[in-house]
Structure 1
Amino acid sequence: MLLLQRLLWILILFPWLDFLLRYIFPDSISGLWDELFLFAIIIALWIYKKNENRFVVVPNYVKIPFLLYFIFCVSSMVIHVVPLAVAIDAMRVIYQPILFGLLTMYLSDNKMLLQRFFHWMYISAGIIAFLGIIEFVFQIDTSRWNHPSEQFRAVSIFSNPNAVAAFYNMMLAMLIPRILMHKQKRWIYSGIAVILFIALLFTLSRGAWIAFCMMVLYVIWMCNKKWLLSIPIATLVLPFVLPKSIIQRIMVLFDPEYYQMSSEYGRIAFWKEALERMIDNPLFGVGVGMFGDSVPLRHQIPFATWVDNHYLKIGAEIGVFGLLAFVVFVFSLFWLPHRSAKQANNSFTKSLYIGLASVTIVIAVQNVTASIWEALTVGVFYYAIVGIIFGLKWQEYQSRKEKISK
């Protein structure tokens, strides 16, 4: 059991280890470390938890769309005879991060352990964000991100500004409900949240900003609706306090020339191409890994491109029904903690469930303008956080069994 807990601390340090190993070793070596970590998790769980079938607490409305999504992925590969190397790589990118959720699923029934996990995860995220702020303020070019535009974007120890923005959003989604509903360590966590928010701004990721706003609206609605009155005030004040570079980034959205350029060769053009593939191949798409984003580009698939919309990319690759299954699966990962928050009998559990639901909001929204799920660290942390939902449901399931037995 101690081994499992130590693996949980490795999970907290995942962004740091991934950065260091990829910085020190070539990709052929450093790319294997996460597979070895996952292998250690599976072996440890088999040794210590093999008699606990925690999947009984996963509702059918989560299982069924997930299985359908998997079936359409496999079917698209078989029907279109996707090359084996591409198929393996694509399935690894999609499903490997999901398996990291097993660790938190089997350990998050311990309240004290869970509190320590979040405490150190917030501190780690705060340090990553602080480095991002320093990077932006002093315009330190770490060479981890090629700046194609004139504006400098902070990436901290990540390699992509959109990915690190998603990471900040997930941490903020867990922190804000806790700050609003708990006095314990409120000032410490408020300080970390401010650092994370500033670092989020410095990523210049507009999709992440929109996701953050939607998450905050949800959290306030669930925690204290009176705080909604502060939103108009914040909207009026922010333009006068935000840095010029951030204002410029926002104002581009109101520039017709931006949409014209995007329609010719940019995000909108990519979306149109994905829609055309989906319309031409509505049942099984063009095959997993054969159209958009990291996998087909890595394997030099002809006409591959960045889609910058995870949903359209999925629809183009596995078809309309596969996309619907995926959307329902993602919604179920929001609905389960959302419904549980309404049924929670104490403020700690309620704030935790609200945070867990909020994480799906920020990731689901940001994936409209980028394939954030394909970023390894983002995918690992997202599904690790999802695993906590089922760990909590297992705890509730055990409590009900004990009451019945008495």
Structure 2
Amino acid sequence: MRLQNNLTYYAVILSLFFVPLVAYKTYIGPLPLSIEVVTIPLLTVAAVSDYLRKRITLNDLNMKPMLAAFLLFFVIGAISLVKAVSLAPGMMELARYLSYVVLFTIVVKVKFTREQYLNFAKVFGASVAIVGIYGVVQYIFGISLNTAGLYALKEAKGRVDSTLINPNYYASFLNLVIPTLVLLAVVYFKDKKAQLLMFAFYGIYVVNLILTYTRAAWVTMACGFILMVMLIPKDFIKNALRPHILLSFVALMTIVYFMPDVQSRTSSAIYAMEKLVVSNLPFHVASGDNSQEEDQGGLFEDEQDEDEEENAQDAATTNRAVVSRVTLWKTGWVMLKENPVLGVGMGNYLVRYKEYVTKYPELYIGHDQYSVHNSYLKVGAETGFIGLAAFLLVYIVYYLYIIRLYFAAQNRLSKVLAIGLIVGSLTFMVQNLSNNLIFIPQLNTVFWLVSGLVIAFLHQNQEQSISMR
């Protein structure tokens, strides 16, 4: 029996649906086994088979700049292994990186029909809906809520991570998708029922983002919303002022405002941003003297008002969190400064972490191994300044592709998808300043899979528009 579509199409469908949903991971000996370890090779085999059997064709999108950027960082990462204390983590990281390159190249170059792209959107939308609904159910019934960071929350049961393992990872996934959801609801769909349905999904995702209690993600979502409105002001503002959309926004904001710990956590987020940005903390080894924070807490010792005492406690808690995070960043910066050319070797940041916190006791925060919580510092520490520059080049080229397609977009759907991808991708990159999200396989697979499909679709729309002139 001959399949109606090619194998590549079905492999993409499986990836779009299952990668966001399946967080299970185990090991077979030293090798990891997770959903992306299954789906990416499956997609690769399917694409090669279809290409050899002439069941797929490739589009004419010029991928040479992107592939050159990918190759440059891969070569530098491979060379950095000469400095590695342990080769195994470096080899695993290079293998994962290569798998993302293969995944992106396949989905961006294979030519699918408009109907197939529509089916991709429906399948990914179904997966996104399940993830979001489960996140709300998880919080309501207290199912495996994450308790990390609860010391700063007074009312919340816990932090939602849905199917993404960690609240921070989940928050990044949500921010990646949210811009497109709200644009589809407010700008693209014209039917009132379709708008309200899409806005409901947008609302569910905003609620989920709040329930992750990831402060950086809240700030990023707000900034992303502003950027989104700036990129498509006329259509967005005009449609947003329609009564049912306006009421939907008001209802959503009211719900969010009265959710547990939102007001105190928002104040904490603003305070944390002030500490990080306004204070302009330098990247050098700290003296470890936190007397300023302690003195700030002491200012409230004689106050009788309970609200004042709570504010002091919240400030002290935020101070400790900020100091801890900055200390982690300083560790990565010190590692980079002492190994500026090739770094400590791809994948070897954690291997060398104990050595550095022992060498610089002021960097020790109570763990023998701890993430740097910054993807760019991790890359720099492991591959040096040249590796960091090559890594950033990959994303610069990536954004140049999207921006070019944005300006070439000839219809409303292309504009919406281009803006959604620009803003969603930017929130992803910004959140990597405070987390190692680029190194989370499940999340990064979604990023490159969805990005590749959207870029290919935008290119196809552009080509069709040119041919119709």
Which TM class, normalised by the smaller chain length?
Answer: 0.7 to 0.9
The Cα of 1:173 is off from its aligned counterpart by 2.6
> What corresponds to 1:147 in structure 2?
148
Asked whether 1:3 is paired with 2:7, we answer yes
Is 92-101 or 371-380 further displaced after alignment?
92-101
Asked whether 1:197 is paired with 2:209, we answer no
The Cα of 1:273 is off from its aligned counterpart by 0.9
Task: Return the alpha-carbon distance in structure 2 between the equivalents of residues 16 and 363 of structure 1.
Answer: 16
The Cα of 1:153 is off from its aligned counterpart by 0.2
Is 304-313 or 241-250 further displaced after alignment?
241-250
Task: Indicate the RMSD between aligned Cα atoms, in angstroms.
Answer: 3.4
> What corresponds to 1:187 in structure 2?
196
| Distance change >3 Å, CA 207–CA 95, structure 1 → 2 | farther
| Distance change >3 Å, CA 179–CA 331, structure 1 → 2 | farther
SS in 2 for 1:305: coil
* Native 8 Å contact 1:57 1:397 kept in 2: no
* Native 8 Å contact 2:70 2:101 kept in 1: no
Task: Return the alpha-carbon distance in structure 2 between the equivalents of residues 48 and 394 of structure 1.
Answer: 22
Given candidates 113, 121, 124, the residue that maps to 2:127 is 124
Map residues 130-279 of structure 1 onto 2, 5 A cutoff.
130-138=133-141, 140-142=142-144, 145-150=146-151, 151=153, 152-183=158-189, 185-224=194-233, 241-253=257-269, 254=271, 256-258=315-317, 260-262=319-321, 266-279=324-337
Given candidates 429, 433, 437, the residue that maps to 1:372 is 437
TM-score, normalisation: structure 1: 0.83
The Cα of 1:104 is off from its aligned counterpart by 2.8
The Cα of 1:65 is off from its aligned counterpart by 3.3
The Cα of 1:309 is off from its aligned counterpart by 0.9
Task: Return the alpha-carbon distance in structure 1 between the equivalents of residues 128 and 212 of structure 2.
Answer: 15
Task: Return the alpha-carbon distance in structure 2 between the equivalents of residues 30 and 290 of structure 1.
Answer: 18
> What corresponds to 1:75 in structure 2?
79
The Cα of 1:400 is off from its aligned counterpart by 9.2
Task: Please list every run of 5 or more consecutive structure 1 residues that lacks an aligned counterpart in the other structure.
Answer: none
Q: How many residues align?
A: 387
Task: Return the alpha-carbon distance in structure 1 between the equivalents of residues 201 and 266 of structure 2.
Answer: 25
| Distance change >3 Å, CA 227–CA 272, structure 1 → 2 | same
Instruction: Write the letter of the residue equivalent to 1:170.
Output: L
| Distance change >3 Å, CA 341–CA 308, structure 1 → 2 | same
> What corresponds to 1:291 in structure 2?
349
Task: Return the alpha-carbon distance in structure 1 between the equivalents of residues 172 and 379 of structure 2.
Answer: 19
Instruction: Write the letter of the residue equivalent to 2:448.
Output: Y
Map residues 320-339 of structure 1 onto 2, 5 A cutoff.
320-339=385-404
The Cα of 1:68 is off from its aligned counterpart by 2.6
Map residues 358-369 of structure 1 onto 2, 5 A cutoff.
358-369=423-434
Task: Return the alpha-carbon distance in structure 2 between the equivalents of residues 168 and 337 of structure 1.
Answer: 20
Asked whether 1:58 is paired with 2:63, we answer yes
Instruction: Write the letter of the residue equivalent to 2:259.
Output: P
Task: Return the alpha-carbon distance in structure 1 between the equivalents of residues 114 and 205 of structure 2.
Answer: 25
Task: Please list every run of 5 or more consecutive structure 2 residues that lacks an aligned counterpart in the other structure.
Answer: 241-248, 272-313, 359-367
Is 202-211 or 249-258 further displaced after alignment?
249-258
Task: Return the alpha-carbon distance in structure 2 between the equivalents of residues 243 and 32 of structure 1.
Answer: 34
Is 106-115 or 204-213 further displaced after alignment?
106-115
| Distance change >3 Å, CA 263–CA 146, structure 1 → 2 | closer
Percent of residue pairs bearing the same amino acid type: 19
Larger radius of gyration: 2
Task: Return the alpha-carbon distance in structure 1 between the equivalents of residues 455 and 72 of structure 2.
Answer: 20
* Native 8 Å contact 1:337 1:357 kept in 2: yes
* Native 8 Å contact 2:376 2:432 kept in 1: yes
SS in 2 for 1:319: helix
Higher RCO by CA contacts (8 Å cutoff, separation 6 or greater): 1
Instruction: Write the letter of the residue equivalent to 2:320.
Output: M
The Cα of 1:117 is off from its aligned counterpart by 1.4
* Native 8 Å contact 1:175 1:193 kept in 2: yes
| Distance change >3 Å, CA 55–CA 213, structure 1 → 2 | farther
Task: Return the alpha-carbon distance in structure 1 between the equivalents of residues 21 and 441 of structure 2.
Answer: 12
Given candidates 343, 346, 356, the residue that maps to 2:411 is 346
TM-score, normalisation: structure 2: 0.73
Per-residue displacement from partner, 1:223-275 (whole Å, max 9, x unpaired)? Answer: 12586799xx98xx7698242312222222426534642465x2111001111
* Native 8 Å contact 1:57 1:393 kept in 2: no
Instruction: Write the letter of the residue equivalent to 1:270.
Output: L
* Native 8 Å contact 1:275 1:316 kept in 2: yes
Considering fraction of residues, name the structure with more helix: 1
